[in-house]
């Protein structure tokens, strides 16, 4: 099941399967990527709660999410995504720092970046909080403009 919600960074499609969020997609939406989505169900309880929490996040009234999540990925990807959930609201971490937290050397930074870019539940699993070692905004599946907007939103809400 899925629903679409308007946001300051454009429409977002939220996908739920078996009672858990499996994806948040940026527009323009791609329907032929092989991901199961099912039918539109704007009144599904988990989707309604995700919409409510995202609205509070974008209003600057929510720093974290309390949603059932089931991102589909490899063991490595899921390990990276678990580390992303540990980056506090308004904070950032480098790809190398994430690699280190996983017991890997800085050489694994590229693999962290690849897993980060494959995150199917952006915003809620905050891949936008991962930046280059020199503090630059590097790659984001939703585009650098969205990454910058999300980081600015969090900074503005803190002050």
User: Rounded to the nearest 5°, which phi and psi values hold at 135?
Assistant: 90, 0
* Catalytic residue, candidates 23, 54, 127, 149: 127
Residues comprising the chain, all counted: 159
Q: Is 83 exposed, middle or buried (0-12, 13-18, 19+ CB in 10 A)?
A: buried
- Copy the structure tokens of residue 129: 């909080």
For residue 59, indicate whether it is catalytic.
no
- Copy the structure tokens of residue 85: 């959930």
The residues, ordered by sequence, that sit 6+ positions from 19 with a Cβ below 8 Å of its Cβ are: 46, 68
Tell whether omega for the bond before 22 is within 30 degrees of 0, i.e. cis: no
Q: Is 134 exposed, middle or buried (0-12, 13-18, 19+ CB in 10 A)?
A: exposed
**Active site members:** 127
């Amino acid at each position: 099941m899925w629903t679409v919600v308007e946001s300051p960074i454009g429409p977002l499609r939220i996908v739920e399967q078996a009672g858990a969020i499996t994806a948040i997609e940026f527009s323009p939406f791609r329907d032929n990527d092989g991901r199961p989505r099912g039918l539109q169900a704007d009144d599904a309880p988990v989707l309604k709660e995700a919409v409510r929490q995202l609205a509070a996040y974008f209003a600057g009234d929510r720093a974290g999410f309390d949603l059932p999540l089931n991102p589909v990925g490899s063991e490595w990807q899921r390990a990276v995504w678990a580390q992303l959930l540990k980056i506090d609201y308004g904070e950032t971490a480098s790809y190398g720092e994430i690699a280190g937290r996983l017991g890997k050397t800085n050489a694994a930074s590229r693999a962290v970046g690849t897993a980060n870019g494959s995150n199917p539940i952006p915003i809620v699993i905050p891949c936008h909080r991962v930046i280059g070692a020199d503090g630059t905004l590097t790659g984001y599946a939703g585009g650098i403009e969205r990454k910058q907007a999300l980081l600015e939103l969090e900074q503005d809400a803190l002050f």
